[in-house]
Amino acid sequence: MINIIRKETAPDCLKKQTDYNCDDVLEKLKKDFFGKCYICETKLFSTNIEHFKAHKGDKKLKFEWTNLFLACSHCNSIKSTTEILNCTDPKHDVENWITYKPIQLSENKVEISTKRTDKLSINTVKVLNKVYNGHTKIKKRDGMTIKEHLVEEMLSFHHLMLEYNKAKHNEKKFKNREMFIEEELHKGSKLTAFKRQVIKDNSKYHQFKKYFD
């Protein structure tokens, strides 16, 4: 999960308060959330328009633009009505409050943690661990799909970092690899939080933090 800045304005179709699943809502959410689920940061499962705060019949919450998020079916069902950190709220520094420990094999467990003791941070970590590791037979299967994807992405990213280090005496290749690293650290990349964690955990790569915004 990474911090997202919402830029799109509320679609006109929400003013009618009859349907929040209109095409304009989906398209604008895809732009704000870079077409990926805001929780797992993948595009592996079907897309849902999620109510960040459960509306429970409250019409204002049901059609409130800032309460509509782009989520996948896997994450939406796991989060359900759980209150978690809001990645679109500047006061919720989700990228620094949550720590990701990547895995080398998909059979291993993804470890996500926080040093914070507030309810929202703890709930967020619980949801994320369920998302990546599963907690039922079906969700474990879906979690395995995500972990296989995660392993592939991280192997590719580590290989890119290795190529960058090896290209230091070839200016053209060196700049080319840095350009690719910038793309991988962009908010629109897959599983961005895990890749950024690599940069945060290695002091020799801290210069790449400039690509976090």
Low-confidence winner among 54-58, 88-92, 143-147 (lowest mean pLDDT): 54-58
* Contact criterion met (CB below 8 Å) for 32 and 7: yes
Q: What is the pLDDT of residue 142?
A: 96
Q: How many CA atoms lie within 13 A of 197 on its CB side?
A: 19
Does the pLDDT value for residue 102 go beyond 80? no
The number of beta carbons lying within 10 Å of the beta carbon of residue 84 is: 21
Contact at 8 Å (CB) between 189 and 183? yes
Q: Over pLDDT 90: what percentage of the chain?
A: 96
Q: Is 83 exposed, middle or buried (0-12, 13-18, 19+ CB in 10 A)?
A: middle
213 pLDDT more than 90: no
The pLDDT of residue 90 is above 80:
yes
pLDDT tens figures, 140-158: 999 999 999 999 999 999 9
pTM for the whole structure: 0.95
Q: What is the pLDDT of residues 27-50, one digit of tens each?
A: 999 999 999 999 999 999 999 999
Q: What is the mean pLDDT of residues 77-95?
A: 97
Dihedral sign from CA coordinates of 153, 177, 101, 6: negative
E strand or H helix at 132, and its extent? helix 119-133
Nearest in space to 52 (alpha carbons), one of 41, 62, 60, 43:
62
Q: 167 phi and psi, to 5 degrees? A: -95, 10
Which residue has tokens 């633009």?
Answer: 65
